Chains A and B, each alone.
Chain A
Amino acid sequence: MACNCENNIVEANEEMIAKVDAIIDRIGTSRQIIIPLLQALQHEFSYLPSAALEHIYERTEIDRAQLISVSTFYSQFRHIPYGKHLIKVCTGTACHVKGAGNVYDSFRRELKMEGDNITSDDQLFSIEKIACLGCCTLAPVVQIDEKIYGHVQPGKVNEVIEDFLGFQNKTEKEETKNKLRKIAGEIRLGMGSCCQASGSSDIYKELQKASGELGIDVNIKPVGCVGVCNKVPLIDVVHADGSITRYPNVKAVEIKEILHYHFKPSGYLKRLKNSFFNQVDTFHTDSTWDNVIWKPENERTGVIDSFLSGQKHISTQGFGFLAPLNIDEYISYSGFDALKKVLFTSSTTETINTILKSGIRGRGGGGFTTGKKWEIVAASGKKDKYVICNGDEGDPGAFMDRMMLESYPFRVIEGMIIAGYAVGANKGIFYIRAEYPLAVVRIRRALEMCREHNLVGENIAGSDFSFDITIFEGAGAFVCGEETALIASIEGERGFPKQRPPFPAVAGLHGLPTLVNNVETLSQISYIVNNGADYYRQIGTPSSKGTKVFALAGKIRHGGLIEVPMGITLNQIIEDIGGGLEHGEKLKAVQIGGPSGGCIPAHLCDVEVDFDAFNQMGAMMGSGGLVVLSESDCMVDMARYFLSFTCDQSCGKCTFCRVGIRRMLDILDKICSGRAEMADLDKLEQLALNIKKASLCGLGKTAPNPVLTTLKYFREEYEAHVNGICKTGTCKEMVKYVVTEQCIGCTRCAKACPVDAIPYTPYEVHTIDVSKCVLCGLCVNECNYDAIRKVPLKAN
């Protein structure tokens, strides 16, 4: 019972102990550094070996009780060794509606993992579900070690595994050095996590290689997130005159051609040689037939232009051209002007008044007026105060915080220092979710640069204000997005929320006044200071000011990250920016705010983006996931999906959340399998209302929202389920596959079936053994004659 170490019996050896000692010497021995310490251990050994933990008890203040309590709370920590490679199947909302469950099952089948096993017998692969990889537009997404695969189909998992193993064996070619001579122009390439997921690192390498080979000296500039996630990799070619030609969905093979089209090589001989080879290439390789340059202009960029037209960039200012880690460039675009303005021309009270007057409300979900929070922290006379930037974004289907940390680190840092100045704090902490390694790297580097420029640390920019910023990496717990739980985790405890009052603004980290602001909130501060509160107030609705960043995903034609002014309607977002639903499907609802939010039905989608308007509908701005659902999505399944997420993420402290959500899920499971009675719906509703009422923290209070809104707007769908019908065929226990007369007996389905539910009967109409069928849908994809149908088990 010591910990989850049943399979964790590894002899302590001197080498291991030496490594553990080195880690302890580096990180420290106090109780509150337990999370960084365990992270370092896991980084070293890939899991937490029990022998190493025993050594921790001996050498540090951390005792067994604390270690078990903390290490089993955060999902990042592993007590058993994993296989060589880790497969992470994204089960975020967008991936869920596109069948991530089937993909997960397929991987397990393919790797022959049975029962509770998550590691293949040859110890090569382990598999786990992950809340969101933040590549929603490529759904369903799977990450194997560092390599991300998008649009993974259950039938193709073997190809993914083969590709990955092939990729492992391939020795990387030596990169051609990029010699800098006369710069012919600039190429900008989005390098956010999602861009990299769709292959922009390959494009980047190809650009460097090709420009070297062709002798074209261009400045290749990796920029932050470009937002148009389903059009990436996207490159912008910037000509000497500043005009831009944009290429969405570029492939590596097209790079040479693009370069060649726009730029002339520097030497005459090379130019001649290149033009010859280019001709030969164009004539002789298939891959260049579909020539990108020959595509008409509007086909190349029209979609993107309309995608960008309805947006307004405040948090994402510099969108598409600002390099994430170029501080000089940020400064040249009036970066840190706002900071200097407040430091030298504005008192702390004036600064707070500006923020108050701007009307900005916290972007983390609750929508508390930011200026008020600042005022409360500032009112305390304590000498030491903290500012925490909450980057523990955990909603499945939301990744705007990650994008901002990765792409605009300086803007967030600037906002944080201004906040620190205004409230009289001297320490800042970036709390960044464990799953965002790139964000951590960028913020760390950005902070170093700021220090070099005297923008962080003692006497900032020559003023008498000093403010230091550190980074704390979260360890995988959704509840730590709640501010009191977040503080508990920095203090080295389980992420249990505390009852408020006292609010963190009065007594937070180490009992000191603590300002906790979301990443997006902080990223709007410099704009407000630069442009004035009155200017900012003009954007938005009476009760919600400014802009909001959303992750637009689901059944939408053009998904991605968008920043829109408050007050835009959901329909405008879907139609004008997103280009409507994909495959011409009909809009059913918009899920907004992830597991804390709710579903807004199509007929109410003319609602304006506004904190209070969403709240009135039972939904919530949340952190800003916006998942578009079509007529083929089951609302009951949707509610169950979100509830299973919160059930998994509940900290377990309070009864209503720990047991109540589990019981709601039990009832939903019953409904989705057709075993429920009508009375169960009332029971579900009663429980949901009371959980909302009697939960202590935000997680529990909002967890019933997905259920309550669907019950409110789609009750007939629940009733149909009670009667045994899931119209969309999503709920597996209510449907079966049948083979129709169209079948010619080609046996493709029989070969495709992973569980041998379809007997191999050539030239006969195939049959499906319902008892074996796992409803993975592979046979449907495989059939060329549309002869396999999903039908309800029960007649309508």
Chain B
Amino acid sequence: MVITIDNTNVEVLEGETLLEVARRAGYTIPSLCYAKGARHKSSCMVCAVKNCSTGQIIPSCTTTPVGGMQIETDSEEVRLVRTLSLELLLSDHRADCEAPCTLVCPQGLDIERMLGYYDADRKKEAYDTLAAAFSLPEIACDNCKAPCEKACRRGTVDEPVSIRVIIREVAGMADAESAAMEMSFPKPDKKAFLSRLGRFTEKERTFLKVNIHSASNCLHCACSGRGDCKLRYYSTLQGIKRSRYEASSALPAMTKIHIVGNLWYEQAKCIRCGLCVYNSENGFTFRDRGFGMQVVLPEENRKNIKEELAELCPTGALYRI
């Protein structure tokens, strides 16, 4: 069977979906809620293409090609649909890609990463992170007005993290220093799309104040899944700066639950694609409907989840650390 994609004839193999045909033929079609080999139902509409035979916009990930179909993958109309679907998802995605403190540090120190090691009591890595940005033993904070502490989200909950105090403490770790090596850490990609959490609600503030007590007091705003986040990747690719819609969400921000082993789940980052629901047995499930629909994991079902499920999640909602 042959179909036309962007005016070129393409052969369709048995059992292929439109997305698979197009990708095999070298066309780039973004997609979030599709994962090869996994059960999925189209939801995100990021893989939209136009079927010129019917004039309809269709999700390529679940469409079975029909002989003679004429598909358009890169017209202005299609691009707008994709951009809007990403922007709509982003307007319901109350999470930071990068931590605000890291973004503002004039020295380019990945503060959140350092605090992460600090909280995990991995002093050596904490020191190395610091060493990668500062020319130790000199501490660049001395003449700095500390925008990091002003930007710190913890400050909107109660008190900002005492970043400078911790930096000095880490810098003073003599035994760690001896082992210091030239290490490179991935720098935050400032060209990439940046999702912003916005303001906490009163309820979230109370929740965070009561529940988050790490050694540094850091909330760890940076997204643990940002490295392979498809939402971010495609938003960057589509040239999205920020969503044109006012953000609001029915999901509480920054509630991270531990599932099993190294697997964690942060609901606010979920785009409700349902991959984790369809691909777990009595595990994740949908709750409620419409805008308020959530993907939840009942406590009793945590044991039914395998860590590999994190690979399917297109965002940083389900992640391994």
Which chain A residues have a beta carbon within 8 Å of chain B's beta carbons?
1-4, 63-66, 68-69, 72-73, 477, 494, 496, 498-499, 501, 647-656, 658-663, 666, 683, 687, 690, 693-694, 696
Please indicate which of the listed interface residues A2, A4, A649 has the most CB atoms of chain B within 10 Å of its own CB.
A2
Q: What is the size category of the interface that chain B forms with chain A?
A: 35 or more
New A-B pairs, 14, CB < 8 Å, besides A69-B287, A72-B286, A663-B88: A64-B285, A65-B283, A72-B287, A73-B286, A477-B289, A649-B289, A650-B291, A652-B291, A653-B41, A653-B272, A654-B43, A662-B291, A690-B80, A693-B56
Q: 25 A-B contacts, Cβ less than 8 Å apart?
A: A2-B298, A65-B277, A65-B283, A65-B284, A65-B298, A69-B285, A69-B286, A69-B287, A72-B288, A73-B286, A494-B289, A496-B41, A501-B64, A648-B290, A650-B289, A652-B293, A653-B43, A654-B44, A656-B45, A658-B290, A659-B88, A662-B248, A666-B246, A666-B248, A687-B245
Closest to A653 in B: B43
Contact assessment for B284 and A652 in the assembled complex, using a CB-CB cutoff below 8 Å: no
| Complex interface bits, B62-100 against A, C-beta within 8 A gives 1, otherwise 0 | 111010000000000000110011001101100000000
Which chain B residues have a beta carbon within 8 Å of chain A's beta carbons?
41-46, 48, 56-59, 62-64, 66, 80-81, 84-85, 88-89, 91-92, 244-246, 248, 271-272, 274, 277, 280, 282-293, 296-301
Measured between beta carbons, the chain A residues less than 8 angstroms from B289 are: 72-73, 477, 494, 649-652
Would you give the shortest CB distance from A696 to chain B, in whole angstroms? 7
Contact assessment for A683 and B244 in the assembled complex, using a CB-CB cutoff below 8 Å: yes
Closest to A501 in B: B64
Tell me the complex Cα distance, A650–B43, Å: 13
Closest to B244 in A: A683
Measured between beta carbons, the chain A residues less than 8 angstroms from B62 are: 499
Number of A-B contacts (CB under 8 A): 135
Contact assessment for B84 and A68 in the assembled complex, using a CB-CB cutoff below 8 Å: no
Tell me the complex Cα distance, A498–B43, Å: 10
Contact assessment for A64 and B300 in the assembled complex, using a CB-CB cutoff below 8 Å: yes
Measured between beta carbons, the chain B residues less than 8 angstroms from A687 are: 84, 245
Closest to A648 in B: B290
Would you give the shortest CB distance from B210 to chain A, in whole angstroms? 17
Would you give the shortest CB distance from A499 to chain B, in whole angstroms? 5
Contact assessment for A690 and B290 in the assembled complex, using a CB-CB cutoff below 8 Å: no
Contact assessment for A690 and B84 in the assembled complex, using a CB-CB cutoff below 8 Å: yes
Contact assessment for B245 and A666 in the assembled complex, using a CB-CB cutoff below 8 Å: yes
Closest to B62 in A: A499
Measured between beta carbons, the chain A residues less than 8 angstroms from B63 are: 499
Tell me the complex Cα distance, A499–B48, Å: 13
Measured between beta carbons, the chain B residues less than 8 angstroms from A694 are: 45, 48, 57, 81, 84-85
Tell me the complex Cα distance, A499–B297, Å: 26
Would you give the shortest CB distance from A221 to chain B, in whole angstroms? 43
Known contacts A654-B42, A656-B45, A494 near B286 by CB under 8 Å? yes
Measured between beta carbons, the chain B residues less than 8 angstroms from A666 are: 245-246, 248
Contact assessment for B59 and A696 in the assembled complex, using a CB-CB cutoff below 8 Å: yes
Tell me the complex Cα distance, A654–B40, Å: 12
Contact assessment for A64 and B88 in the assembled complex, using a CB-CB cutoff below 8 Å: no
Closest to A692 in B: B57
Would you give the shortest CB distance from A664 to chain B, in whole angstroms? 9
Contact assessment for A652 and B286 in the assembled complex, using a CB-CB cutoff below 8 Å: yes
Tell me the complex Cα distance, A73–B81, Å: 28
Tell me the complex Cα distance, A22–B58, Å: 47
Tell me the complex Cα distance, A68–B296, Å: 9
Would you give the shortest CB distance from B85 to chain A, in whole angstroms? 5
Measured between beta carbons, the chain B residues less than 8 angstroms from A648 are: 290
Contact assessment for A693 and B57 in the assembled complex, using a CB-CB cutoff below 8 Å: yes
Contact assessment for A1 and B290 in the assembled complex, using a CB-CB cutoff below 8 Å: no
Known contacts A650-B291, A659-B291, A687-B84, A65 near B285 by CB under 8 Å? yes
Contact assessment for B290 and A650 in the assembled complex, using a CB-CB cutoff below 8 Å: yes
Measured between beta carbons, the chain B residues less than 8 angstroms from A660 are: 84, 88
Contact assessment for A647 and B44 in the assembled complex, using a CB-CB cutoff below 8 Å: no
Closest to A683 in B: B244
